Every structure is written in structure tokens, then in C-alpha cells.
């Protein structure tokens, strides 16, 4: 059963779903996103990643020498590094690490493959800061989850080493919207419709084949990718997308931890500033923290995290 707080969040989502008929300007909204307010005791430092803006987000005391590179969601057309401060601070707290949020270019002003190029640039810049690949975890939510998978595909295409692991939160990896749940979960998903996603995919791709492996990484060669954590809600229209990606990755020999949550809405991790400390959000971040410290520590990240770092409460 969903918690009372989750019920409140779902009600708020149902009251204001994404309307595919609205202008991009209206959908983007005006003023700073509420997610730009981090959790208490958080330090923010801006950085220029060879032309890509980013922010270092650190909450509390670091217990792990690794870094989590985070790519925000927003259908490739909205949101920002600044709007990711809340989720970035929750990642930092849960993992005991630095979180680097990336302000990749947005559509329709900057179409595919601009976002992939910026993700790649951010990863290369992080390596140049002295973080070896085995100390880096990459991750993102929704479109950012798809972008994370696209970055892994890009690194493989370029013959470069992979990061220690990847975290995909309600990922959008198939811009053809071909999974059955894009239709069957229309009523159970309170905010994301197939019509909306079709429009946003069109704005991002601008005529490019949606099966391009860097646009829809579910169609890429997944062999040799690092361990991947996938978290998704069973009611989501994107549930089948996330499940298909996880299944294909497993078939390609990738270690996949697929965590399907009952009742939760799309990318519920991003809603801590709306309904704080929802039990389902706390649980998800604690599992992300455990996944991070397991894979970064096991590959020799230097200073080990404290024994209880994976149990940090947000």
C-alpha cells in the first residue's frame, strides 16, 4: 500500500499532468524550479566543464572518494543543474560522495545529439579532474536516465573505458515509445502520457531516426557495460521501457539490479521538495547509496565509506 505521503504526491501529480498541447515556454514554466532548494547542510560550487555548466553538490561529510555524475530529466527540453540541487543533495547524502549535476543543452534550441555530446564532455572533464573511471558512477532520471545509457553507448563506440556503474531512475531509453505500457499504463500514470512523449521526442530528434542507438540506447549494443541499477514504478507509462532495457542488458551479460516499485509515480525521486521524506523516496535513495558504495568501494576507490554510510536518511 502507498504511504499517506505518497498518496498526497500522486494527487498533486494528477492535478497537474504534463499537457502536450501547451507551448514549450509554458511547460518550462517561469522562475526557478522548487528543486533548486537543496536539503540543509549542502554546499554548491559551480564549474565550467569545457563549456558545459555544472554544479558540485556536497551534503554533509564525504565518506566516499567517488563522484556521482547526475543528468536531470525533463524530456530533453526543460530543467537544469540548478533545478537538480535537491536530488543532487539527496544523492550526495545517500552515497556519501560528491554529486556533479550537468546542465546539458536542451531542445528544441539544441537538438540531438547535443545532449549526448555534453554528457560525454562532462564525463571526460571529470576524468581530467583526477577521478579515475572506477570512482565514477553516472546516473539520471527520466530523459536523464536515457542520456546516462546513451553515454555508456557512446563510450563503448569510442573504445573508452566504462565508469564503475550506472543508475537509471524511471529511464526513457526508447524514443519510439514501443513498449506496451506506453498504452496500457495511460490511466495508472498520473502525469506522463504517450502523446506527450511523442511530442518531446520529435522536438529532440528533429527528424533523426528514433532508433539511433544514441537517441534510444535500448537499441544499442549493451555488451560490456558496467553494473546498472534500474528503479522504476510499476504504474509508469515508461515501466515497459525500463524493463525492456534491463532485460536486454542482462541478455548481453550486464549485471542489472532491477527494482520495480508498486504505486509510485514517474521519477518520484525528484519530488522530495514537494512532499518531503516520503517513505518510498527514502527507500529508493538508501538503495542507491548501497549500490554506489558497493560498486565504487569494490573497485578500489581509496578511502572506504563508513560502515553505516548506505543507511543515511534523507
Question: What are the catalytic residues?
Answer: 142, 236, 266
Q: Is 244 helix (H, G, I), strand (E, B) or coil?
A: helix
Three cell numbers at 295? 560498486
Q: How many Å apart are CA 183 and CA 173, to the nearest integer?
A: 16
203, 209, 215, 220: CA torsion to nearest 10? 170
- How far from the centroid of its chain's Cα atoms is residue 233's Cα? 14
Cβ within 8 Å of residue 153, ≥6 positions away: 213, 214, 217, 220, 221, 222
* Residue 287: all three cell numbers together: 538503495
For 50-174, strand residue ranges (E) read 52-59, 67-71, 98-102, 136-141, 165-169
Q: Which grid cell sits at 154?
A: 557512446
Strands lying side by side in the sheet with 228-233 = 42-49, 52-59, 98-102, 67-71, 136-141, 165-169, 228-233, 256-261
Amino acid at each position: 500500500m502507498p504511504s499517506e505521503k505518497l498518496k498526497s504526491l500522486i494527487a498533486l501529480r494528477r492535478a497537474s499532468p504534463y499537457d502536450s498541447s501547451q507551448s514549450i515556454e509554458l511547460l518550462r514554466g517561469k522562475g526557478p524550479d522548487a528543486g533548486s532548494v537543496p536539503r540543509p547542510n549542502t554546499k554548491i560550487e559551480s564549474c565550467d566543464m569545457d563549456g558545459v555548466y555544472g554544479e558540485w553538490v556536497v551534503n554533509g561529510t564525504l565518506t566516499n572518494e567517488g563522484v556521482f555524475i547526475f543528468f536531470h530529466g525533463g524530456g530533453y527540453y526543460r530543467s537544469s543543474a540548478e533545478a537538480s540541487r535537491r536530488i543532487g543533495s539527496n544523492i550526495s547524502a545517500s552515497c556519501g560522495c560528491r554529486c556533479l549535476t550537468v546542465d546539458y543543452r536542451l531542445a528544441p534550441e539544441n537538438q540531438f545529439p547535443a545532449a549526448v555530446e555534453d554528457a560525454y564532455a562532462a564525463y571526460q572533464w571529470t576524468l581530467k579532474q583526477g577521478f579515475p573511471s572506477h570512482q565514477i558512477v553516472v546516473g539520471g532520471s527520466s530523459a536523464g536516465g536515457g542520456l546516462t545509457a546513451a553515454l555508456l553507448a557512446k563510450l563503448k563506440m569510442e573504445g573508452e573505458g566504462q565508469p564503475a556503474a550506472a543508475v537509471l531512475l524511471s529511464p526513457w531509453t526508447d524514443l519510439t515509445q514501443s513498449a506496451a505500457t506506453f498504452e496500457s499504463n495511460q490511466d495508472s500514470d498520473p502525469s506522463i502520457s504517450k502523446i506527450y512523449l511523442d511530442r518531446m521526442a520529435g522536438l529532440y530528434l528533429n527528424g533523426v531516426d528514433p532508433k539511433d542507438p544514441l537517441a534510444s540506447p535500448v537499441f544499442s549494443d549493451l555488451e560490456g557495460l558496467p553494473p546498472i541499477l534500474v528503479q522504476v514504478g510499476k504504474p509508469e507509462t515508461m515501466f515497459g521501457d525500463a524493463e525492456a532495457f534491463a532485460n536486454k542488458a542482462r541478455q548481453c551479460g550486464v549485471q542489472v539490479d532491477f527494482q520495480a516499485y508498486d504505486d509510485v509515480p514517474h521519477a518520484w525521486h525528484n519530488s522530495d521538495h514537494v512532499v518531503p521524506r516520503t517513505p518510498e523516496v527514502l527507500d529508493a535513495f538508501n538503495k542507491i547509496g548501497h549500490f554506489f558504495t558497493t560498486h565504487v568501494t569494490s573497485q578500489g576507490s581509496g578511502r572506504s565509506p563508513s560502515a553505516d554510510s548506505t543507511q543515511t536518511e534523507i
